[in-house]
Amino acid sequence: MKKDLNPYVFILPSCCVLAAVVIFPTIFLWYVSFTNYDLAVGWEKKQIVGFANYFFLFLEDKDFWHSLRISLVFMVFVVAIEFWLGLFVALLFHRRIRGKRLWMSFLIIPMVITPSIIALIWKLMLNTEYGVLNFLLASLSLPKINWLGYENALWSIMLVDIWEYTPFVALILYAGLQSLPQEPYEAVVIDGASPLQIFYYFTLPLLRPVILIALLLRAIDSLRIFDIVYGLTQGGPGNATELMSLHIYRLGFRHTNWIGRASANSILLLFIITLLTTVLLRILRKSEVKEGTT
Amino acid sequence: MRLKRKLFVQTVILDILIAIVLFLAVFPFFWTLLTSLKTRAQALDPSVWLFTPTLENYRAIFQKRDLMMYIKNSFIVVTFTTLIALFLGTLTAYGLARYRFRARENLAYWMISLRMLPAMAVIIPFFLLGRFLGLLDTHLLLILVYLSFNIPFTVWMVRGFIEDVPQELEEAAWVDGCSRFQGLRWIVLPLIAPGLAATAIFCVIQSWNEFVFAFFLTSFNARTVPTTVTFFLSVLGVIWGEMAAVGIVATLPVLIFALLVQKYLVRGLTFGAIKS
């Protein structure tokens, strides 16, 4: 056979583009995070300030800690609730149903709608005076809720996120359930195990990699969230819903133009997400290997 | 007999639960559709469920708010970023699927990790670089920036599809004198065409929905559809009908596309880690 092409002929073009649009900007971000660049002052007048921006965030910026805390609270709650609800929905569909494909297509609606538009839709429904949710509450003679007020705003945003992404978790878990092998089940059913036992001792462990992938994807995406919060509350009222990415927005673009400090915050967000991504990739790699050997 | 009855009751309960779940999933969309067809006064009254629909809001968003410009911008950005990502991504996917070399898996997994990149973390360098290069508020900048997630996505999806094609088919073609590229073009591509189409559709949906980059990197000329939310941030409760109409117009194309790729959805959501 004639001489084969080098694999990099195929790979290099993409890598060059990605280097230009990802690697270079990330390095640039590191650089900016060590300067005191302020949009209002100008690029020429910036100075290298070492770790000052990081110290500012850690020592002086109480809102940074606030945003970190509520981001983690947000992540833990939405991931936990979406997991249990998603598992519930996946199990509901995991049986013979007429027209299943059609029914499942309804489930797709929340997760493919443009997220910023989702914010609009829910803003419509959550309004205290004219929103349909309070109308429904009132018709059940329950008191009205100030959904986007200071106390409730973060929970309302969780509610929207749960609405949007529970189908996502459900679909992944459903696919996992469908791909489980049938033989072990037949054996344990003969042994007389109860459905609950079967689920706990067989289904859940077999489903573990799929569950982990779904949960980590959700955890990562819940930390990246920006559009829904921006559309609904823009981080407010006060800083009630100022999650990490909203805090970056406020530092760099909204109230102040401290691009240096905002960059340092961006680096920290990147760091947290990289940690989670590393775990996710390890699991993906492991499940890939297993697939390859069987 | 009793057992049969118990099973029947069980099935009915499960069906009812599914109905509730589907109702909850669809209701916000349905409510938006309803609101978009109301008059201004009706839109503020959630007790109105039956009424004579009006298209007034749709007329308003196209005439007063120039929604067509936003759609046009979205269309340009989405089309080009998808085509470029598909071309470059497929080449890379082929390299990763058909060659064995040392850095292969590391490279592949590095690419997935780009999918996790938080937009708000990289928006600052994009914004500054865009400013230095004079590219802010151009389609070109958005097209390039969107490649950062579309290329990795395409690589992962298409790699899976190519690996499903037996290599023997290509080898036979090589014996007949085909080059690598010709083998890819005439043997592999036709076989993975449905997968490619699905991948393209996913890229379209992702790019169409993207908000952060569009919001910060454009100001007037290259504004895309998701940024229209900014019309409705300050004016509370006044133009709800228009708000809903924008929602429906922005959402419909994505929904239709998503239904076309339902079969590949899980694969797309998990980068091919779960194939069903």
**What is the maximum span of chain B, computed from C-alpha positions, in angstroms?**
78
Query: Nearest to residue A164, comparing CAs of A152, A175, A156?
Result: A156
Instruction: Examine the pLDDT at B204 and tell me if it is beyond 90.
Output: yes
Of the pLDDT bands very low, low, confident and very high (cuts 50, 70, 90), residue B53 is confident
Q: Residue for token digits 């941030």?
A: B233
User: Taking a C-beta distance cutoff of 8 angstroms, is the pair A54, A264 a contact?
Assistant: yes
CA distances from A117 to A25, A105, A163, B208, B219 (A): 29, 20, 14, 11, 19
Residue pairs spanning A and B at CB distance below 8 A: 268
Distance from the Cα of B201 to chain A's closest Cα (Å) equals 12
Q: What is the pLDDT of residues B210-251, one digit of tens each?
A: 999 999 999 988 999 999 888 887 655 568 888 899 999 999
Catalogue all structural domains in chain A, each as residue range(s) with its CATH number. Answer: 61-293 (1.10.3720.10)
Contacts of residue B82, defined as CB under 8 A and 6 or more positions apart, other chains included, come to: B150, B200, B203, B204, B207
Locate all alpha helices (DSSP H) within chain A, ordered by sequence: 8-18, 24-33, 52-55, 62-93, 100-112, 115-126, 132-139, 153-178, 183-190, 195-198, 204-224, 227-232, 244-249, 259-293
Domain with CATH 1.10.3720.10 in chain B: 66-269
Q: Do A281 and B109 touch (CB under 8 A)?
A: yes
Q: For residue B254, is pLDDT > 60? A: yes
Q: How far is A2 from chain B (nearest CA, A)?
A: 9
User: Region B37-44: what's the mean pLDDT?
Assistant: 85
Interface contact flag, B246 A117, Cβ < 8 Å: yes
Chain A residues 46-85 with a CB less than 8 Å from chain B: none
The pLDDT of residue A1: 46
**Taking CB atoms and an 8 Å limit, are A106 and B26 in contact across chains?**
yes
Cα separation, A59 vs A65, whole angstroms: 9
Contact B109 A284 (CB under 8 A): yes
What per-residue confidence (pLDDT) applies to A160? 96
In CATH, B66-269 is 1.10.730.10 = no
Q: Can you give the pLDDT of all 294 residues of chain A as single tens digits?
A: 446 778 888 989 999 999 999 999 999 999 999 988 888 888 888 888 888 889 888 888 889 999 999 999 999 999 999 999 999 999 999 888 888 888 888 998 998 899 999 998 898 899 888 889 999 998 898 888 889 888 899 999 999 999 999 999 999 999 888 888 877 777 777 777 787 888 888 888 888 888 988 999 999 999 999 999 999 998 878 889 999 999 999 998 888 888 888 999 999 999 999 999 998 888 888 876 555 433
Q: Which residues of A touch B113 (CB under 8 A)?
A: 274, 277, 281
d(CA A79, CA A290): 26
- To probe the interface with A, which of B102, B124, B236 has the most A CB atoms within 10 Å? B124
Nearest to B148 among A21, A227, A248 (CB): A21
Contacts of A165 (CB under 8 A, 6+ apart): A78, A82, A110, A111, A218, A221
| Whole-number Cα distances in Å, A34 to A22, A30, B126 | 19, 7, 17
Lowest-pLDDT range of A248-252, B37-41, B129-133: B37-41
A193 alpha-carbon distance from chain centroid: 37
Q: How many angstroms separate the Cα of A277 from the Cα of each of A129, B47, B78, B109?
A: 42, 46, 27, 10
Gap between the terminal Cα atoms of chain A = 32
Residue of B nearest to A39 (CA): B128
Does B129 contact A223 at a Cβ distance shorter than 8 Å?
Answer: no
| Residues above pLDDT 90, as percent of chain B | 49
